[in-house]
Structure 1
Amino acid sequence: MRCPFCGFADTQVKDSRPVEDGGTIRRRRHCPNCGARFTTSERVQLRELVVVKSDGRRVPFDRDKLERSIRIALRKRPVEDGVIERLVHTISRDLESSGEGEVTTRRIGELAMAALAKQDEVAYVRFASVYRDFAGVKDFEEFIGRMAHGQGVRERGSDESGD
Protein backbone atom coordinates (compact mmCIF):
# COMPACT_ATOMS: atom_id res chain seq x y z
CA MET A 1 0.00 0.00 0.00
CA ARG A 2 1.38 3.38 -1.03
CA CYS A 3 1.82 6.02 1.69
CA PRO A 4 -0.74 8.82 1.20
CA PHE A 5 1.72 11.37 2.63
CA CYS A 6 5.00 10.74 0.81
CA GLY A 7 4.04 8.19 -1.88
CA PHE A 8 6.47 5.51 -0.64
CA ALA A 9 5.36 2.21 -2.14
CA ASP A 10 6.02 -0.22 0.72
CA THR A 11 4.18 0.63 3.95
CA GLN A 12 4.00 -1.81 6.86
CA VAL A 13 0.94 -3.17 8.62
CA LYS A 14 1.24 -2.63 12.38
CA ASP A 15 -2.19 -3.84 13.51
CA SER A 16 -5.19 -5.59 11.90
CA ARG A 17 -8.62 -6.20 13.32
CA PRO A 18 -12.05 -7.08 11.96
CA VAL A 19 -14.74 -4.42 11.98
CA GLU A 20 -18.19 -5.12 13.49
CA ASP A 21 -19.77 -6.35 10.26
CA GLY A 22 -17.18 -9.14 9.93
CA GLY A 23 -16.68 -8.40 6.23
CA THR A 24 -14.20 -5.57 6.71
CA ILE A 25 -10.68 -5.50 8.14
CA ARG A 26 -9.22 -2.32 9.59
CA ARG A 27 -5.44 -2.02 9.29
CA ARG A 28 -3.13 0.48 10.99
CA ARG A 29 -0.16 1.15 8.75
CA HIS A 30 3.23 2.82 9.16
CA CYS A 31 5.45 4.33 6.48
CA PRO A 32 9.14 3.56 7.13
CA ASN A 33 10.12 6.37 4.75
CA CYS A 34 8.37 9.37 6.37
CA GLY A 35 7.16 7.86 9.66
CA ALA A 36 3.48 8.65 9.01
CA ARG A 37 0.73 6.42 10.38
CA PHE A 38 -2.63 5.90 8.69
CA THR A 39 -5.58 3.52 8.64
CA THR A 40 -6.97 1.51 5.74
CA SER A 41 -10.07 -0.66 5.42
CA GLU A 42 -10.27 -3.80 3.34
CA ARG A 43 -13.55 -5.33 2.29
CA VAL A 44 -14.05 -8.73 0.70
CA GLN A 45 -15.54 -8.42 -2.77
CA LEU A 46 -16.97 -11.62 -4.19
CA ARG A 47 -17.27 -10.37 -7.75
CA GLU A 48 -17.20 -7.24 -9.87
CA LEU A 49 -20.76 -6.12 -10.45
CA VAL A 50 -22.03 -4.07 -13.35
CA VAL A 51 -25.19 -2.02 -12.88
CA VAL A 52 -27.56 -1.84 -15.83
CA LYS A 53 -29.27 1.56 -15.81
CA SER A 54 -32.81 2.10 -17.09
CA ASP A 55 -31.43 3.71 -20.26
CA GLY A 56 -29.25 0.65 -20.95
CA ARG A 57 -25.94 2.14 -19.83
CA ARG A 58 -23.67 -0.16 -17.84
CA VAL A 59 -21.59 1.23 -14.98
CA PRO A 60 -19.58 -0.43 -12.20
CA PHE A 61 -21.48 -1.01 -8.96
CA ASP A 62 -20.71 1.79 -6.50
CA ARG A 63 -21.16 0.66 -2.89
CA ASP A 64 -20.56 4.23 -1.71
CA LYS A 65 -23.48 5.51 -3.81
CA LEU A 66 -25.77 2.92 -2.21
CA GLU A 67 -24.53 3.96 1.23
CA ARG A 68 -25.09 7.66 0.49
CA SER A 69 -28.66 6.97 -0.64
CA ILE A 70 -29.45 4.99 2.49
CA ARG A 71 -27.80 7.63 4.70
CA ILE A 72 -29.93 10.35 3.09
CA ALA A 73 -33.10 8.33 3.70
CA LEU A 74 -32.07 7.75 7.34
CA ARG A 75 -30.89 11.33 7.98
CA LYS A 76 -32.06 12.60 11.38
CA ARG A 77 -33.61 9.22 12.20
CA PRO A 78 -32.69 7.31 15.37
CA VAL A 79 -30.41 4.84 13.58
CA GLU A 80 -26.74 4.30 14.40
CA ASP A 81 -23.95 4.28 11.82
CA GLY A 82 -23.30 0.60 12.49
CA VAL A 83 -26.84 -0.26 11.43
CA ILE A 84 -26.40 1.66 8.18
CA GLU A 85 -23.13 -0.14 7.48
CA ARG A 86 -24.81 -3.52 8.11
CA LEU A 87 -27.69 -2.64 5.76
CA VAL A 88 -25.27 -1.67 2.98
CA HIS A 89 -23.12 -4.74 3.65
CA THR A 90 -26.15 -7.06 3.50
CA ILE A 91 -27.46 -5.54 0.26
CA SER A 92 -24.00 -5.61 -1.35
CA ARG A 93 -23.41 -9.21 -0.26
CA ASP A 94 -26.84 -10.26 -1.60
CA LEU A 95 -26.01 -8.72 -4.96
CA GLU A 96 -22.51 -10.23 -5.11
CA SER A 97 -23.63 -13.70 -4.10
CA SER A 98 -26.54 -13.80 -6.56
CA GLY A 99 -24.27 -15.33 -9.20
CA GLU A 100 -25.09 -12.58 -11.67
CA GLY A 101 -22.40 -10.31 -13.09
CA GLU A 102 -24.96 -7.65 -13.95
CA VAL A 103 -27.68 -6.21 -11.76
CA THR A 104 -30.39 -3.69 -12.60
CA THR A 105 -30.97 -0.44 -10.76
CA ARG A 106 -34.45 -1.80 -10.10
CA ARG A 107 -33.03 -4.79 -8.19
CA ILE A 108 -30.77 -2.56 -6.09
CA GLY A 109 -33.65 -0.18 -5.34
CA GLU A 110 -36.00 -2.99 -4.33
CA LEU A 111 -33.38 -4.53 -2.00
CA ALA A 112 -32.75 -1.13 -0.42
CA MET A 113 -36.46 -0.49 0.00
CA ALA A 114 -37.03 -3.90 1.60
CA ALA A 115 -34.15 -3.29 4.04
CA LEU A 116 -35.39 0.20 4.93
CA ALA A 117 -38.98 -1.03 5.35
CA LYS A 118 -37.76 -3.36 8.10
CA GLN A 119 -35.56 -0.69 9.70
CA ASP A 120 -37.49 2.60 9.67
CA GLU A 121 -40.83 3.49 8.06
CA VAL A 122 -39.99 7.17 7.58
CA ALA A 123 -36.70 6.34 5.84
CA TYR A 124 -38.56 3.79 3.73
CA VAL A 125 -41.04 6.43 2.52
CA ARG A 126 -38.23 8.93 1.89
CA PHE A 127 -36.27 6.43 -0.20
CA ALA A 128 -39.39 5.33 -2.07
CA SER A 129 -40.31 8.93 -2.90
CA VAL A 130 -37.01 9.39 -4.74
CA TYR A 131 -36.65 5.87 -6.11
CA ARG A 132 -40.20 5.79 -7.47
CA ASP A 133 -40.14 9.46 -8.45
CA PHE A 134 -43.19 10.68 -6.55
CA ALA A 135 -44.68 13.66 -8.36
CA GLY A 136 -46.90 14.99 -5.59
CA VAL A 137 -48.85 14.46 -2.39
CA LYS A 138 -51.17 11.96 -4.08
CA ASP A 139 -48.24 9.60 -4.70
CA PHE A 140 -47.32 9.77 -1.00
CA GLU A 141 -50.94 9.16 0.03
CA GLU A 142 -51.25 6.10 -2.22
CA PHE A 143 -47.92 4.69 -1.09
CA ILE A 144 -48.62 5.19 2.62
CA GLY A 145 -52.12 3.75 2.11
CA ARG A 146 -50.57 0.59 0.68
CA MET A 147 -48.13 0.49 3.60
CA ALA A 148 -51.03 0.69 6.05
CA HIS A 149 -52.52 -2.37 4.35
CA GLY A 150 -49.24 -4.30 4.42
CA GLN A 151 -48.46 -3.77 0.74
CA GLY A 152 -45.69 -1.14 0.96
CA VAL A 153 -42.75 -3.18 -0.33
CA ARG A 154 -44.73 -4.61 -3.24
CA GLU A 155 -43.81 -3.21 -6.63
CA ARG A 156 -46.33 -0.89 -8.33
CA GLY A 157 -45.77 -2.14 -11.82
CA SER A 158 -43.28 -3.24 -14.39
CA ASP A 159 -42.97 0.20 -15.99
CA GLU A 160 -40.80 1.62 -13.18
CA SER A 161 -37.13 1.86 -13.93
CA GLY A 162 -35.83 2.70 -10.45
CA ASP A 163 -33.05 4.89 -11.82
Structure 2
Amino acid sequence: MHTLTKGLIAGAAGTAALNAVSYLDMAIRARPASSTPQRAVDKLTHLADVDLGDSERAGNRKEALGALLGYGTGAAAALCYGLAAERWRPSWPVGVLALTALAMTGSNAPLTLLGTTDPRTWSATDWISDVLPHLAYGATAYAAYRLLRS
Protein backbone atom coordinates (compact mmCIF):
# COMPACT_ATOMS: atom_id res chain seq x y z
CA MET A 1 0.00 0.00 0.00
CA HIS A 2 1.31 3.46 -0.89
CA THR A 3 2.46 5.85 1.86
CA LEU A 4 -0.12 8.42 0.77
CA THR A 5 -2.96 5.90 1.15
CA LYS A 6 -1.72 4.70 4.53
CA GLY A 7 -1.40 8.29 5.74
CA LEU A 8 -4.89 9.24 4.60
CA ILE A 9 -6.45 6.18 6.25
CA ALA A 10 -4.50 6.69 9.48
CA GLY A 11 -5.42 10.39 9.49
CA ALA A 12 -9.11 9.59 8.99
CA ALA A 13 -9.03 7.06 11.84
CA GLY A 14 -7.20 9.51 14.11
CA THR A 15 -9.61 12.33 13.26
CA ALA A 16 -12.59 10.10 14.04
CA ALA A 17 -11.06 9.32 17.45
CA LEU A 18 -10.35 13.01 18.09
CA ASN A 19 -13.95 13.91 17.25
CA ALA A 20 -15.33 11.11 19.42
CA VAL A 21 -13.28 12.23 22.45
CA SER A 22 -14.25 15.88 21.84
CA TYR A 23 -17.96 15.01 21.62
CA LEU A 24 -17.70 12.81 24.71
CA ASP A 25 -16.13 15.73 26.60
CA MET A 26 -18.92 18.02 25.38
CA ALA A 27 -21.55 15.51 26.55
CA ILE A 28 -19.96 14.93 29.96
CA ARG A 29 -19.30 18.58 30.77
CA ALA A 30 -22.27 19.98 28.80
CA ARG A 31 -19.90 22.39 27.11
CA PRO A 32 -20.62 23.94 23.72
CA ALA A 33 -18.62 23.23 20.60
CA SER A 34 -15.69 25.51 19.97
CA SER A 35 -16.37 28.44 17.67
CA THR A 36 -12.67 28.80 16.85
CA PRO A 37 -12.82 26.88 13.53
CA GLN A 38 -15.73 29.03 12.34
CA ARG A 39 -13.91 32.21 13.35
CA ALA A 40 -10.85 30.99 11.42
CA VAL A 41 -12.98 30.38 8.33
CA ASP A 42 -14.47 33.85 8.76
CA LYS A 43 -10.98 35.39 8.81
CA LEU A 44 -9.75 33.29 5.89
CA THR A 45 -12.76 34.13 3.72
CA HIS A 46 -12.35 37.79 4.60
CA LEU A 47 -8.65 37.69 3.66
CA ALA A 48 -9.47 35.89 0.40
CA ASP A 49 -12.44 38.19 -0.27
CA VAL A 50 -14.82 35.23 -0.59
CA ASP A 51 -18.55 35.72 -0.04
CA LEU A 52 -20.23 32.82 1.75
CA GLY A 53 -23.75 34.10 1.16
CA ASP A 54 -26.38 35.61 3.42
CA SER A 55 -26.03 35.43 7.19
CA GLU A 56 -27.72 32.03 7.66
CA ARG A 57 -25.94 30.39 4.73
CA ALA A 58 -22.62 31.94 5.70
CA GLY A 59 -22.99 30.58 9.24
CA ASN A 60 -23.74 27.09 7.97
CA ARG A 61 -20.84 27.22 5.52
CA LYS A 62 -18.44 28.44 8.22
CA GLU A 63 -19.45 25.53 10.45
CA ALA A 64 -18.95 23.01 7.63
CA LEU A 65 -15.69 24.52 6.40
CA GLY A 66 -14.37 24.68 9.98
CA ALA A 67 -15.00 20.95 10.37
CA LEU A 68 -13.36 20.25 7.02
CA LEU A 69 -10.28 22.18 8.14
CA GLY A 70 -10.04 19.69 11.02
CA TYR A 71 -10.21 16.72 8.65
CA GLY A 72 -7.55 18.33 6.48
CA THR A 73 -5.31 18.85 9.48
CA GLY A 74 -5.76 15.21 10.53
CA ALA A 75 -4.90 13.98 7.03
CA ALA A 76 -1.90 16.29 6.72
CA ALA A 77 -0.46 15.31 10.12
CA ALA A 78 -0.66 11.59 9.31
CA LEU A 79 0.77 12.15 5.82
CA CYS A 80 3.77 13.99 7.29
CA TYR A 81 4.21 11.23 9.85
CA GLY A 82 3.92 8.56 7.15
CA LEU A 83 6.64 10.16 5.05
CA ALA A 84 8.97 10.25 8.04
CA ALA A 85 7.97 6.77 9.27
CA GLU A 86 8.98 5.15 6.00
CA ARG A 87 12.61 5.84 6.94
CA TRP A 88 12.26 6.04 10.70
CA ARG A 89 10.33 3.38 12.60
CA PRO A 90 9.37 5.03 15.89
CA SER A 91 8.36 3.04 18.93
CA TRP A 92 4.79 3.26 20.20
CA PRO A 93 5.24 6.14 22.67
CA VAL A 94 7.43 8.16 20.29
CA GLY A 95 5.08 7.63 17.35
CA VAL A 96 1.99 8.52 19.36
CA LEU A 97 3.62 11.66 20.73
CA ALA A 98 4.90 12.64 17.27
CA LEU A 99 1.43 12.31 15.74
CA THR A 100 -0.14 14.15 18.69
CA ALA A 101 2.37 16.99 18.32
CA LEU A 102 1.88 17.16 14.55
CA ALA A 103 -1.91 17.36 14.92
CA MET A 104 -1.78 19.93 17.72
CA THR A 105 0.71 22.08 15.85
CA GLY A 106 -1.21 21.71 12.61
CA SER A 107 -4.39 22.95 14.23
CA ASN A 108 -3.19 25.45 16.82
CA ALA A 109 -0.39 27.20 14.90
CA PRO A 110 -2.61 28.45 12.03
CA LEU A 111 -5.40 29.39 14.45
CA THR A 112 -2.92 31.34 16.56
CA LEU A 113 -1.47 33.08 13.50
CA LEU A 114 -4.99 34.06 12.42
CA GLY A 115 -5.60 35.49 15.89
CA THR A 116 -8.57 33.22 16.64
CA THR A 117 -6.89 31.67 19.67
CA ASP A 118 -3.91 32.25 21.93
CA PRO A 119 -2.65 29.15 23.77
CA ARG A 120 -0.67 31.40 26.12
CA THR A 121 -3.96 32.47 27.69
CA TRP A 122 -5.48 28.99 28.03
CA SER A 123 -6.40 27.62 31.44
CA ALA A 124 -5.39 24.13 32.56
CA THR A 125 -8.90 22.94 31.63
CA ASP A 126 -8.51 24.44 28.15
CA TRP A 127 -5.21 22.61 27.68
CA ILE A 128 -6.68 19.31 28.84
CA SER A 129 -9.62 19.82 26.46
CA ASP A 130 -7.12 20.24 23.63
CA VAL A 131 -4.49 17.66 24.57
CA LEU A 132 -6.75 14.67 25.29
CA PRO A 133 -8.53 14.60 21.91
CA HIS A 134 -5.22 15.13 20.13
CA LEU A 135 -3.69 12.31 22.16
CA ALA A 136 -6.58 10.08 21.05
CA TYR A 137 -5.79 11.17 17.49
CA GLY A 138 -2.11 10.29 17.95
CA ALA A 139 -2.76 6.85 19.46
CA THR A 140 -5.38 5.91 16.87
CA ALA A 141 -3.47 7.23 13.87
CA TYR A 142 -0.31 5.46 15.07
CA ALA A 143 -2.15 2.15 15.51
CA ALA A 144 -3.83 2.48 12.11
CA TYR A 145 -0.58 3.35 10.35
CA ARG A 146 1.26 0.53 12.04
CA LEU A 147 -1.44 -2.00 11.09
CA LEU A 148 -1.42 -0.78 7.49
CA ARG A 149 2.37 -1.01 7.33
CA SER A 150 2.39 -4.65 8.47
State the TM-score, normalized to the length of structure 1: 0.33
The answer to which structure has the higher strand fraction is: 1
> Larger relative contact order (C-alpha < 8 A, sep ≥ 6)?
2
The answer to which structure has the higher helix fraction is: 2
